[in-house]
């Protein structure tokens, strides 16, 4: 067997009859589970989905290029094996991202490690080989962005029956692999993991059950598990943030938005929406509220006060928008303004105090990638490969566009004046050449 296959297939084979039916029990928090130093993003790193502060805002001082294209500001470009839509995680001199190859109903999923300076492959570890999971043709088995705590890289992966979590060392060797929960949905798994204290947390929501599960980063032991209310399907990650004076695990589920206690998974509050069946996007947040968008079959954008308890549907929704909002792309919050692009290309700027639309621009292109903010500008990429640079502020400004030869589903990362971007063809490092 190749490296990693036996471990992962063994983990996927340990589901009990109860788990196969989607009836995993709650697990109370283990006493003394927080035994590791906290994971912090070092300066110049982007170690998990949506960056150091979980907000898709590049660190201050970043000045990425305003122009790129064939022969222009492409510092390096590499072709990756297989396909994938995960965004890169950058830690130190390494880049981590996933990829999958599917042939005749079988799939092989890898975690790739690249040199940050050149894009050269350092190692490539197989984390799954087996039957390909059923999912939407625009999704992939390599859509969740890895998370890195500085020593370990955490990668959730869907098989045709369940979701597993695998931890690898910086040398590419598998440290542990555990089954998270049984899983089978229409769209396919895409939720990126989140690190909190000594745990790595991942949500799984579908017809076979809905759960939040926290694993010990070093051992893979389940620290706690919490069963959620029955849902249709949810695909969004859970993000830990300090909102309304307390640490909260924020998640946009299939039917409900919720805030949970990251120490135990216990529900703090929840409200219905923004959809009745399916949501994908990640929540944005400020000091006292969260902002969520979705989904299917209905859509709206909501602002919810996060200081409630229990069901806050009737009491804590500050405002909600019309249906001209995004389903897949996640919004970005900056300086009291919320920016969101719809899947069909309508870009809007909202005043967060009232939910009023300050301006909108129809980009007339389809989107899956989420906007990232750098140097006071939004950077967006559509599914055809065009990049848009949009000034932020209460009034609309001139948009700069650039082209790449293949489409973009992944979200870009900005560090040290460089733009790291995965397209449907290649992986790019874009920056101003000396």
pLDDT at residue 434 is higher than 80? no
pLDDT at 433: 80
In the predicted model, what is the mean pLDDT of residues 164-189?
96
106-127: b (≥16 Cβ within 10 Å) or e? ebbbbbbbbebeebeebbebbb
Average pLDDT over the chain, rounded to an integer: 93
pLDDT at 21: 47
Q: Give the tokens for residue 425.
A: 């063809």
Distances (CA, A) of 240 to 54, 112, 118, 290: 8, 26, 33, 12
Backbone angles phi, psi at 32, to 5 degrees: 65, 30
pLDDT at residue 202 is higher than 50? yes
pLDDT at 15: 42
Give tens-digit pLDDT for 86-123. 999 999 999 999 999 999 999 999 999 999 999 999 99
CA-CA-CA-CA torsion for 367, 373, 375, 379, nearest 10 degrees? Answer: -10
In the predicted model, what is the mean pLDDT of residues 218-233?
91
Helices marked H in 318-410:
none
pLDDT at 306: 98
pLDDT at residue 413 is higher than 80? yes
Contact indicator for 346, 360 with CB cutoff of 8 Å: yes
Contact indicator for 209, 159 with CB cutoff of 8 Å: no
| Cβ count within 10 A of residue 8 | 23
HSE, CB side, 13 Å, CA atoms: give it for residue 90: 24
d(CA 402, CA 418): 15
Find, among 147, 152, 146, 161, the residue nearest to 107 by Cα: 161
HSE, CB side, 13 Å, CA atoms: give it for residue 303: 19
Give tens-digit pLDDT for 334-368. 999 999 999 999 999 999 999 999 999 999 999 99
d(CA 149, CA 188): 26
pLDDT at residue 159 is higher than 70? yes
d(CA 135, CA 163): 13
In the predicted model, what is the mean pLDDT of residues 51-58?
96
HSE, CB side, 13 Å, CA atoms: give it for residue 109: 29
- With bands split at pLDDT 50, 70 and 90, how would you rate the model's confidence at 20? very low
pLDDT at 259: 97
Give tens-digit pLDDT for 294-346. 888 889 999 999 999 999 999 999 999 999 999 999 999 999 999 999 999 99
pLDDT at 6: 43
In the predicted model, what is the mean pLDDT of residues 208-230?
94
Higher pLDDT, 232 or 177: 177
- With bands split at pLDDT 50, 70 and 90, how would you rate the model's confidence at 232? confident
Distances (CA, A) of 42 to 46, 51, 86, 316: 8, 11, 21, 36
d(CA 157, CA 170): 19
Beta bridge partners of residue 294, listed in sequence order? 300
d(CA 401, CA 68): 9
pLDDT at residue 276 is higher than 90? no
297-308: b (≥16 Cβ within 10 Å) or e? eebbbbbbbbbb
In the predicted model, what is the mean pLDDT of residues 153-170?
96
- With bands split at pLDDT 50, 70 and 90, how would you rate the model's confidence at 8? very low
pLDDT at residue 208 is higher than 50? yes
Backbone angles phi, psi at 18, to 5 degrees: -65, -45
pLDDT at residue 275 is higher than 60? yes
- With bands split at pLDDT 50, 70 and 90, how would you rate the model's confidence at 70? confident
In the predicted model, what is the mean pLDDT of residues 241-259?
95
Distances (CA, A) of 19 to 4, 88, 155, 199, 381: 23, 32, 21, 22, 40
CA-CA-CA-CA torsion for 195, 196, 197, 201, nearest 10 degrees? Answer: -70
Q: What is the pTM of this model?
A: 0.93
Q: Determine the distance from the C-alpha atom of residue 188 to the mean position of all C-alpha atoms in its chain, rounded to a whole number.
A: 14
- With bands split at pLDDT 50, 70 and 90, how would you rate the model's confidence at 7? very low
pLDDT at residue 181 is higher than 70? yes
pLDDT at 5: 45
d(CA 414, CA 66): 12
pLDDT at 2: 40
């Amino acid at each position: 067997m190749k490296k990693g296959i036996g471990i992962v297939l063994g983990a996927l084979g340990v589901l009990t009859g109860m788990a196969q039916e989607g009836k995993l029990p709650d697990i109370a928090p283990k006493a003394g589970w927080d035994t590791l130093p906290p994971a912090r993003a070092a300066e110049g790193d982007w170690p998990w989905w949506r960056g150091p502060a979980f907000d898709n805002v590049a660190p201050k001082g970043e000045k990425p290029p305003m122009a790129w294209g064939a022969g222009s500001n492409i510092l390096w470009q590499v072709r990756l094996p297989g396909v994938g839509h995960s965004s890169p995680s950058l830690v130190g001199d390494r880049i981590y991202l996933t990829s999958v190859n599917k042939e005749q109903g079988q799939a092989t999923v890898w975690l790739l490690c690249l040199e940050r300076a050149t894009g050269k492959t350092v190692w490539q570890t197989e984390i799954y080989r087996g039957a390909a999971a059923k999912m939407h043709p625009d999704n992939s088995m390599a859509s969740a962005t890895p998370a890195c705590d500085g020593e370990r890289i955490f990668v959730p992966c869907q098989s045709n029956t369940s979701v597993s979590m695998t931890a690898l060392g910086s040398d590419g060797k598998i440290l542990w692999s555990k089954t998270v929960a049984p899983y089978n949905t229409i769209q396919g798994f895409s939720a990126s993991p989140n690190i909190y204290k000594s745990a790595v947390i991942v949500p799984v929501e579908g017809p076979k059950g809905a759960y939040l599960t926290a694993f010990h980063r070093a051992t893979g032991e389940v620290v706690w598990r919490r069963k959620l209310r029955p849902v249709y399907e949810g695909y969004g990650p859970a993000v830990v943030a300090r909102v309304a004076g307390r640490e909260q695990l924020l998640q946009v589920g299939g039917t409900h938005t919720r805030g949970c206690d990251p120490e135990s998974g216990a529900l703090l509050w929840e409200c219905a929406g923004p959809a009745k069946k399916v949501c994908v996007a990640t929540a944005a947040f400020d000091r006292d509220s969260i902002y969520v968008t979705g989904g299917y079959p209905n859509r709206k954008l909501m602002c919810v006060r996060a200081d409630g308890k229990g069901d806050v549907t009737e009491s804590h929704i500050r405002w909600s928008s019309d249906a001209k909002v995004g389903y897949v792309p996640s919004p970005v919050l900056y300086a009291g303004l919320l920016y969101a692009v719809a899947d069909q290309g309508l870009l809007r700027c909202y005043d967060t105090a009232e939910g009023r639309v300050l301006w909108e621009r129809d980009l007339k292109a389809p989107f899956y990638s989420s906007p990232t903010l750098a140097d006071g500008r939004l950077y967006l990429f559509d599914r055809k490969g065009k990049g848009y640079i949009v000034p932020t502020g209460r009034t609309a400004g001139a948009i700069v566009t650039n082209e790449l030869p293949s489409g973009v589903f992944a979200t870009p990362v900005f560090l040290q004046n460089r733009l790291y971007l995965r397209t449907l063809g290649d992986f790019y490092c874009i920056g101003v050449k000396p």
